[in-house]
Amino acid sequence: MTAGERRDHGRFDVVLEQFERHLRLERDLSPHTVRAYRGDVTALITHLTTAGQTDLSGLDITALRDWLGDQHQAGRSRATLARRTACARVFTAFCHRRGWLANDPGLLLGTAKAERRLPKVLDQTEAGAVLDAPAPDEPKDLRDRAMLELLYATGMRVSELCGLDVDDVDRDRNTVRVMGKGRRERTVPFGLPALRALDAWCVRGRPLWVREGSGPALFLGVRGGRVDQGTVRRVVHARLAQVEGAPDMGPHGLRHTAATHLLEGGADLRSVQELLGHASLATTQIYTHVSIERLRAAYRQAHPRA
């Protein structure tokens, strides 16, 4: 690539378009991650243009640190700063490989670690109250119960739930095929309550909502299309609001709850990792801390010399 071509291809608009394509097609990241990374790079480009830069020639370690420093001063959370640092590394490495940067300044960035807060979880009594609440035998109620049961039974992500097709459920083996992050497929077992709820939805609910364009989607919206994540979140929040004392949480809270209850019931960490689809065991280990904290709380409440 000639110097003139580098200058042309180093234009911000071209770079941003090519980077997004790289994330989608080469790294195969989820649409949510692609949007987040595109937003981060857009913020970085805005920082460079405010400083008078018109291309990538001014992107060095000083510019990166200035940008992240501005983010810190603006009150961004540690999680946001950690993600933007990771994104900056991916972006500068990509630009260096393309020949748009003579060297990779992202290699000089320190590691920003996100603060790890213990997630909110339901105790087993609260979980039972959420799942066993009486409901009419209408399609919406049958669908909502089936979604809640499956979220808690498998610990799957809301995006994974929405992406399920009818054929992903194996009723003979009580398992569901889940397509996770990075298109990694896994098979997750579930229990009889989830099976009964799924059967009720598929026999008495789903046929009433199926339309010509419904396709193989397991869970449908009222208009017959595949259910969306916003609908699932509203269902979870609404059901939790009906249980006195239950913390307000979304579908990810049910994922946390499922993992915590599995560990409390004696499941080993590696098995929980496989069930949840975590790429790293370190991600799963936070649930051991949740279980320990709950044990400490029970001890403090029950032991006379706690």
User: Catalytic residue numbers?
Assistant: 157, 181, 252, 255, 278, 287
Cβ atoms within 10 A of the Cβ of 199, count? 14
Q: Categorise residue 91: left if φ over 0, alpha if ψ from -120 to 50, beta otherwise.
A: alpha
Reduce the DSSP state of residue 114 to 3 states and report it.
Answer: coil
Most distant pair of Cα atoms in the chain: their distance? 77
Both tokens of residue 267?
Answer: 């499941």
Whole-angstrom Cα distance, residue 239 to residue 247? 11
Whole-angstrom Cα distance, residue 50 to residue 73? 17
Nearest to 255 by CA among 80, 119, 79, 117: 119
Dump strand ranges (E) for 15-123.
none
SS percent in the chain: helix, strand, coil, step 5: 65, 5, 30
Reduce the DSSP state of residue 177 to 3 states and report it.
Answer: strand
Whole-angstrom Cα distance, residue 306 to residue 298? 10
Cβ atoms within 10 A of the Cβ of 63, count? 18
Whole-angstrom Cα distance, residue 41 to residue 20? 10
